[in-house]
Amino acid sequence: IEVEMSEHWRSILDLPKDYLFALDDNFLRLGATSLQIANLLSLIRRLYYLSIDYNAFVNDPTFGFLIRAIHRFSKKESGRND
């Protein structure tokens, strides 16, 4: 998930292909616009069938927030609780 999400962030933000994200990297501080946030959340909805609230993401617009949300949802969907 981290590798795939990194590719999407780089593409949306037009960052170099070798840019490595840390969990505390902030989508807004990296230059994202509100339209790019909407595009990212729409992409997550299509790829993972997961709807992330726009305001929740704006309150914590980090790489880690999205990764944790996707992992939690994936575990829930698979029935795992570890």
pLDDT at 22: 97
pLDDT tens sequence across 24-67: 999 999 999 999 999 999 999 999 999 999 999 999 999 999 99
**Tokens at residue 4, please?**
């795939």
pLDDT at 11: 97
Q: Is 90 exceeded by the pLDDT of residue 14?
A: yes
* Predicted TM-score (pTM) of this structure: 0.87
Collapse the DSSP code of 22 into the 3-class scheme (helix H, G, I; strand E, B; otherwise coil) and give the result: coil
| Closest to 37 measured CA to CA, from 22, 14, 57, 21 | 57
